[in-house]
Amino acid sequence: MMMRLSVVCSVLLSFVILNAKANSNPPANGMVKIPAGKYTSFLADKTAKQVAVKSFYLDVKAVTNAEFLEFVKSNPRWARSKVTALYAESGYLKHWASDFSIGSNYEKVKNSPVTNISWYAATAYAKWKGKRLPSLNEWEYAANAPLVNSQRTVEQTILKWYSKPTPIILPPTGSASKNKFSVFDMHGLIWEWVYDFNSVIMNDDSRSNSVNQSLFCATGAASTIDKENYAAFMRFAFRGSLKAKYTTSNLGFRCAADVKN
């Protein structure tokens, strides 16, 4: 019975994968082509309200522990004991048993998104795959797409997720949500690194003179467009608080790639 069920499942799964392939013409497995479009950025740019995003490829799911283990095995520089403190703080891959082993939790977490990784490690992984990290605008644009198979709006899904603590064992990728671009888990599973996360400049107050005059006369919050977009505010506040070497137990990543003309 179990056997039959798993066969049915894998047939279904491969059907889904084949289907996705036929629709998207990806450069590699597991990516989908996101069409060019525009979105309204949460943080206003005084010279443009809508941000245009070119077509790009995006991983449909976040990078998993098992995938990241392959990377570390091929690039020992990124093993837990080898990585230097400039490129990852001490919590780097702390949920793994050792440098090249996830440990007894392997079966439980192999398909869960890898977390406790720094921006540098995520960037190195993407490069190794011949990919890159999505830009902040690409990520936000893809994440703004409405969800499918869900009664809830994107906003409701996020707020429900925010209200719960991060589970010790993260659920597998693909389990949280799916949107109209066929991209999974942009909300509801983990936070994700983006290439230019350090482009979020939210000043604490106008007395600080650390940024130039475009934010000089008010707090960073004055440049927000939708003051009620609590969920987006949380994402931007989080990014604004990050440094590239930081690692946290609910911050992972997915890769993107250029569409070659």
Partner 1 sequence: MKNMRIDLAMLAAVFLAVGLFTGCKPAETKSEQATKPTLAVSPAGETIYGEMGKWDNQNGDSIQLSSLKGKIPVLSMVFTRCTFACPRIVGDLKAIEQKIPRDKKDKVVFVLISFDSDRDHTAELQKFVQQNKLGKQWLVLHGDEESVRNLSMLLDVKYKKQANGDFTHSSSIALLDQNGGIVTQVEGLGADATPLIEGIKAL
Name the site residues for partner 1 (rule: CB under 8 A). 45-48, 84-86, 89-91, 119-120, 166, 195-196, 198-202, 208-216, 221, 224, 227-228, 230, 233-234, 237-238, 241, 243-244, 248-250
Least distance to partner 1 from the beta carbon of 199, Å? 4
> Contact at 8 Å (CB) between 116 and 249?
yes
**CA–CA separation, 154 vs 220, rounded Å?**
25
Q: Which is nearer to partner 1, 31 or 124 (CB)?
A: 124
Least distance to partner 1 from the beta carbon of 40, Å? 13
Q: Which is nearer to partner 1, 79 or 201 (CB)?
A: 201
Q: Which is nearer to partner 1, 60 or 200 (CB)?
A: 200
- Token pair of 26, please? 């990806």
From the CB of residue 167, how many other CB atoms can be counted at a distance below 10 Å?
10
- Helix (H/G/I), strand (E/B), else coil: 72: helix
Sign (positive or negative) of CA dihedral 248, 186, 193, 242: negative
DSSP H or E stretch at residue 138: helix 136-143
Least distance to partner 1 from the beta carbon of 43, Å? 9
Least distance to partner 1 from the beta carbon of 227, Å? 5
* Interior angle at CA 219, CA 241 and CA 158, nearest 5: 50
**CA–CA separation, 56 vs 260, rounded Å?**
9
Least distance to partner 1 from the beta carbon of 111, Å? 22
Q: Which is nearer to partner 1, 151 or 163 (CB)?
A: 163
Q: Which is nearer to partner 1, 40 or 198 (CB)?
A: 198
Could you tell me which of 182, 185, 189 has the C-alpha nearest to residue 31?
Answer: 182
Least distance to partner 1 from the beta carbon of 2, Å? 37
- Token pair of 54, please? 């070119």
